[in-house]
Chain A
Amino acid sequence: MHVLPTPFPWYLSGPATGMCVSGMYALTNKHMGISGSFGSLVTMASSKGRVISWRVTFLLGTVIGAALVAILGGSPQTGLEYGTLSEHLSLPALVLVLFAGSVLIGYGARMAGGCTSGHGITGCATRSPGSFVAVSIFVVTAVLVTLVLNALTGWAV
C-alpha cells in the first residue's frame, strides 16, 4: 500500500520539523529533543521516576509516525537490513558496530546535553550559544570521521 510518495523533499520535511519545535514551545513551553527523551527512559528504568514524562509520549509519537510512513510509503530498511552497511558487514559485526557506535552517541549526547534535534534544531532555533558550538563540533567530527572511514574502507555509497 504505497500511497505516500517518499522521500519527501527537504523543503517539506525541514519546515514541518521546525513547526514541531516551535509548536512544542508555543503550546507547552517545552524544549524538544530526542536524546532527552532517551534520558527520561533511562531515568524511568533506573526507577527514580514513576511519573511518565511528556518526552516519552513524544518519543512514542516518533515511532508511530515512522511506522505510518513505512506502512503508507514503504520502508527500504526493514528486518535486519541496514542499508549498504549490512552488505559490507556480517550480522554479528554489524550489531557490534551499531552497539559500540550507539554507546558513543548516548555518552556524547548526554555529555553535550543534547543531540542533532535538541541542540541541532531546537537549540539553534532558540539561539543557544552552547548549541551552536555542539552542532558545529558534531557535524564537523562526523564528516571528518566518515571521510576517513570511506578512504580506509572504500565503502562510499
Chain B
Amino acid sequence: MTKVHLTAGIFGTLFGIAFTGAGLNQYDVIHRMLSLRNFDPFLIMASAMATALPVLWLLERRAWVTPLGGRLHLRRWPVDRSHVTGGVIFGVGWALTGACPGTASTTLGAGSLLGLVLIAGMGVGFGLRDLTTARTKRIRPRSFAVRRSGHYVPEALLPPL
C-alpha cells in the first residue's frame, strides 16, 4: 500500500460518490440518456471534461512535476481502427444493459447484486479479447503486422488506461 494506492482509493471514493449521487449507476437514468430524453448525463460528461481539460493543459504547459509520479505525462492515443470497432461493440453492450465499467462497480456498491453479473460479464469480455489478441499475435508476428497493416497495435503495447 503506497501513497499512490491511497490517493487512487480517495479519488476512487470521490468518483463513486459523484457518479452514484448523480444516479449514473441506475439503468433508467442511462436508458433515458441514450433514448435522448435526459441530457443530464451528457452534461456531467461534458462538465467533467470542461473541468479537467484546462487544468491538465495548464499543468502540461508548466511542465508540472507530480509529487508521486515524476514529470506529468498526459497519455494520448493516435486514431486507430480498434477505436472504431471496439467503440461499436462497446456501444451495443452499453445500449443493451445501460451499464458501463463505471456503473458495474457502483451498481454493486449501491446494493444491486446484478452488479456481480455485470462485473463477471465484463471480465469474460476482457479475457476473450486478450485471448483473441494473443492468437493473432501468434499467427502474425508483431513487427510484421505493424509494418504491413499500420492499424494493428496490440493492446499489450499501449499504455493502459
A binds B: yes
| Interface contact B111-A77, CB-CB below 8 Å | yes
0/1 string, A123-145, CB within 8 A of B gives 1: 11111111101111111111111
Asked if A100 contacts B22 (CB within 8 A), the reply is no
Q: With an 8 A cutoff between CB atoms, is A15 at the interface? A: yes
Interchain CA distance A22-B123 in the complex, whole Å: 27
Is A137 within 8 A of B83, CB to CB?
A: yes
Q: Which of B107-135 contact A (CB under 8 A)?
A: 107-114, 117-130
Of B1, B70, B101, which one neighbours A37 at CB under 8 angstroms? B101
Q: Report which B residues bind A (CB closer than 8 A).
A: 1-2, 4-29, 31-32, 34-37, 40-41, 43-53, 55-57, 59, 64, 66-80, 82-102, 104-114, 117-130, 155, 158-161
13 inter-chain pairs at a CB distance below 8 angstroms, sorted by A residue, are A10-B44, A25-B74, A38-B122, A38-B126, A42-B127, A61-B8, A83-B31, A98-B97, A104-B92, A108-B93, A126-B74, A130-B78, A133-B79
B12 touching A61, Cβ below 8 Å: yes
Residues of A within 8 A of B68 (CB): 27-29
Given the complex, which residues of B lie within 8 Å of A105, measured CB to CB?
Answer: 90, 93-94, 97, 99-101, 121-122, 125
| Contact of A76 with B26 at beta-carbon distance under 8 Å, contacts A101-B97, A129-B79 already known | yes
Which residues of A does B touch, CB under 8 Å?
4, 6-42, 45-46, 52, 54-55, 57-70, 73, 75-85, 94-95, 97-131, 133-147, 149-150, 156-157
Interface centre among B55, B108, B158 (most CB of A within 10 A): B55
A152 vs B43: C-alpha distance when bound (angstroms): 28
Contact between A106 and B161, CB atoms less than 8 A apart: no
Contact of B8 among A30, A46, A79, A114 (CB under 8 A): A30
Expressed in whole angstroms, the Cα–Cα distance for A41 and B126 within the complex equals 10
Using A14-B44, A146-B95 as known contacts, say yes or no to A63 and B83 having CB atoms under 8 A apart.
Answer: no
- Measured between alpha carbons, how far is A140 from B84 in the docked complex, in Å? 11
Across the interface, do A145 and B106 meet the contact criterion of CB distance under 8 Å?
Answer: no
Q: How far is the CA of A61 from the CA of B120 in the complex (A)?
A: 19
